[in-house]
Amino acid sequence: MKPPVCVICDVRFKPQEEGGVVNFAKRKADLEWDKKNIVEHPPYSEWFCGKHFDYAESLSNLTINIAMPKIKERFI
């Protein structure tokens, strides 16, 4: 698992105090990745600090490749 560093602003944060990991909807390749039981950060998950977490979580019904451009457009 990646350390808690926001994918949008590159700020390290304490997930017990703010933000967290968002798991987006899984694509076919993500389902295959899950079957392999790989012990690393899933390709459909990202860390978001408190400033970006709520919006990212509101898009968690989308796949990461669709959600990330929307999140970046809003904040960058």
Residue 64, pLDDT score: 98
- d(Cα 54, Cα 50) in Å, to the nearest integer? 7
Q: Band of the pLDDT at 15, cuts 50, 70, 90?
A: very high
Please report the pLDDT score of residue 1 as a whole number: 78
Q: What is the DSSP string of 14-71?
A: -TTTS-EEEEPBPPHHHHHHHHTT--S--TTEEEE-HHHHHHHHHTTTSBHHHHHHHH
Are the C-beta atoms of residues 67 and 56 closer than 8 Å to each other? yes
pLDDT tens sequence across 18-75: 999 999 999 999 999 999 988 899 999 999 999 999 999 999 999 999 999 999 999 9
CB-based contact 47:7 (threshold 8 Å): yes
